[in-house]
Structure 1
Amino acid sequence: MTSLTGPSTDEQPGRLRRAPRLAATRGGNPLARAALYAVLCILSVIAVLPFLWMVFGAFKSGQEIRTFPPDLLPRDWTLDNFRTILSDPEMPLLTFYKNSLFVAVANVVIQLFLASLLGYIFAKYDFRWRQPLFWYLLALMMVPPSVLMIPNYLILSELGLLNNLWGLVVTAAINPFAIFVMRQFISTLPNDQIESARIDGASEWRIYRSVVLPQVRPALATLALLEFMFNWNAYLWPLIVLTENDKRTLPVILTWYSTQHGAQLNLVMAASVLLVIPVLIFFLLTQRWIVAGLTLTGGK
Structure 2
Amino acid sequence: MDTLHYRSENNPQSKAKIHEVMHELDLLDIWRQQHPFDNRYSWRGPNHKQSRLDYFMITSDIEAFVVSSDIGISFSSQIRGKGTWKFNNSLLRETEFIDKVKGDIKTVIEEYESDPSMDIETEDKQFNISYQLLWDMIKMKVRGSAISFSSFQKKEGNKKEKELLYKISLLDEKLLENNLPSVYQEREGIELELKILREKNVKGIITRAKARWQVEGEKGSNYFCNLEKKHYTEKIIPKLILEDETEITDPSTIRNEQKQFYKKLYTSCKPLLLKTHRDTFLQHDNPFITKPNEEEVGSCGDL
Q: Same fold (TM over 0.5)?
A: no
- Bigger radius of gyration among the two: 2
TM-score (norm: length of structure 2): 0.27
Structure with the larger helix share: 1
TM-score (norm: length of structure 1): 0.27
Structure with the larger strand share: 2
Whose RCO is larger (CA < 8 A, sep 6+)?
A: 1
